[in-house]
C-alpha cells in the first residue's frame, strides 16, 4: 500500500469518527438548544461522512489498486495524487470551520471561507479524476 | 478491467467532477451569494455525487474484482446484464437529477425506479460471484 493511500485511509477513519461524534452530539437531548452551532451542523455532518469518509476512502483505494498507468509511473502523477489529498482535506476542514459560522452570521467574513472551501474541494476532485482517468483500462 | 467496468468507472469520474462542480457552486453561493436560484441545483448535486459517483464506482469495481471462476457465460457474468445495469443507472441518474431540479416529480420518480432496477439487474448478475475463492480461511 503506497504512503499516499495510507494517508487517505487514515484520514478517512478520522473523519468517520468525527462525523459519528458530531452525530451523537446533534442527537443528544437538549444539545441543539444548548449550543446554536450544533443546530447548524447538519450539512457539515453529511459532508464529513460523504466527502471525508466515503470519497476519501475511494480515492485512497483507487490510487492503490487501479491498473498501472505505466511501468515508469505506475500510479500516474504523484504530485497530482498529493494535490488531490491536500486540496480535498484543506477544503473540507475550511468548510467544517466556516459553514456553521457563515450560517449563524450570513454576509460576514466567514462567507469567504466557504468560497475557498468550495474552490479547494473542486480542485481536489478534479486532480483525482485527471490522475485516475488514464488508469481506467483493461490491464 | 472488463469493458463495462471501464464505462462504469469513467462515468463515475465524470459524475464526480460534475457533482463537485454543482456542490462547489452551491457552497460558494451560500458563503458569497451570486445567483439566487442556484439552490435548485441541490438535487443534481445529491444525485450525481451519491448515485452517479459513489454507487456507480462500486458497481464498476465489483463487476471487475469479484471472484470469476466457474461463472456461466463469461468470466464476468452476463455482459448484456452489465450493460443493461449501466444504461438504467445512468438514465436514472439524469432523470432523477433533472426531475428534482425542474420540479417534475414524475420524472424524478421514474429516475429513482430506473436506478433501483439497475441495482437489481447488477445484483442478480454478480450474485453467483459472491463466494469463497478457496484462498482465504475466512
Q: ipTM score of the complex? A: 0.93
Nearest to A50 among B13, B31, B49 (CB): B49
Question: For residue B132, is pLDDT > 80?
Answer: no
Encode pLDDT of B3-36 as tens digits: 999 999 999 999 999 999 999 999 999 999 999 9
| CB-based contact B54 A136, cutoff 8 Å | no
d(CA A70, CA A134): 10
| CB-based contact A118 B17, cutoff 8 Å | no
| CB-based contact A133 B10, cutoff 8 Å | yes
What pLDDT is recorded for position A67?
A: 95
Q: Which of A30-34, A103-107, B54-58 has the highest mean pLDDT?
A: B54-58
Encode pLDDT of A59-91 as tens digits: 999 999 999 999 999 999 999 999 999 999 999
Q: Is B65:B3 a contact under the CB 8 Å cutoff?
A: no
Mean pLDDT of A105-117: 93
Distance from CA of A43 to the nearest CA of B (A): 10
Q: Is A65:B1 a contact under the CB 8 Å cutoff?
A: no
Mean pLDDT of B37-49: 96
Average pLDDT, chain A: 93
Distance from CA of A104 to the nearest CA of B (A): 11
Across A4-8, B102-106, B131-135, least confident range? B131-135
Chain A neighbors of B6, CB-CB under 8 A: 136-138
> pLDDT-based confidence at B134, cuts 50/70/90?
low
d(CA A46, CA B72): 41
Read off the C-alpha cell for A31.
Answer: 444539545
Amino acid at each position: 500500500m503506497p504512503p499516499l493511500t495510507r494517508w487517505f485511509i487514515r484520514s478517512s477513519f478520522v473523519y468517520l469518527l468525527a462525523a459519528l461524534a458530531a452525530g451523537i452530539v446533534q442527537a443528544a437531548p437538549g444539545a441543539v438548544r444548548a449550543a446554536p452551532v450544533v443546530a447548524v451542523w447538519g450539512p457539515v455532518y453529511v459532508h464529513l461522512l460523504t466527502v471525508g469518509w466515503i470519497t476519501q476512502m475511494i480515492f485512497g483505494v483507487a490510487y492503490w489498486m487501479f491498473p498501472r498507468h505505466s511501468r515508469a509511473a505506475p500510479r500516474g502523477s504523484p504530485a497530482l495524487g498529493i494535490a488531490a489529498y491536500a486540496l480535498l482535506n484543506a477544503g473540507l476542514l475550511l468548510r467544517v470551520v466556516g459553514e456553521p459560522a457563515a450560517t449563524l452570521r450570513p454576509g460576514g467574513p466567514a462567507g469567504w471561507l466557504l468560497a475557498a472551501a468550495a474552490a479547494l474541494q473542486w480542485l481536489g476532485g478534479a486532480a483525482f479524476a485527471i490522475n485516475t482517468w488514464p488508469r481506467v483500462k483493461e490491464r | 478491467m472488463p469493458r463495462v467496468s471501464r464505462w462504469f468507472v469513467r462515468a463515475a469520474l465524470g459524475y464526480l467532477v460534475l457533482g463537485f462542480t454543482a456542490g462547489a457552486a452551491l457552497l460558494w453561493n451560500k458563503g458569497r451569494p451570486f445567483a439566487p436560484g442556484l439552490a435548485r441545483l441541490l438535487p443534481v448535486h445529491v444525485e450525481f455525487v451519491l448515485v452517479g459517483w459513489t454507487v456507480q464506482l462500486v458497481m464498476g469495481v465489483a463487476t471487475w474484482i469479484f471472484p470469476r471462476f466457474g461463472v456461466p457465460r463469461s468470466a464476468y457474468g452476463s455482459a448484456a446484464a452489465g450493460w443493461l445495469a449501466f444504461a438504467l443507472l445512468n438514465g436514472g441518474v439524469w432523470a432523477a437529477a433533472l426531475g428534482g431540479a425542474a420540479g417534475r416529480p414524475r420524472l424524478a420518480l421514474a429516475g429513482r425506479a430506473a436506478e433501483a432496477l439497475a441495482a437489481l439487474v447488477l445484483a442478480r448478475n454478480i450474485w453467483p460471484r459472491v463466494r469463497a475463492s478457496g484462498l482465504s480461511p475466512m
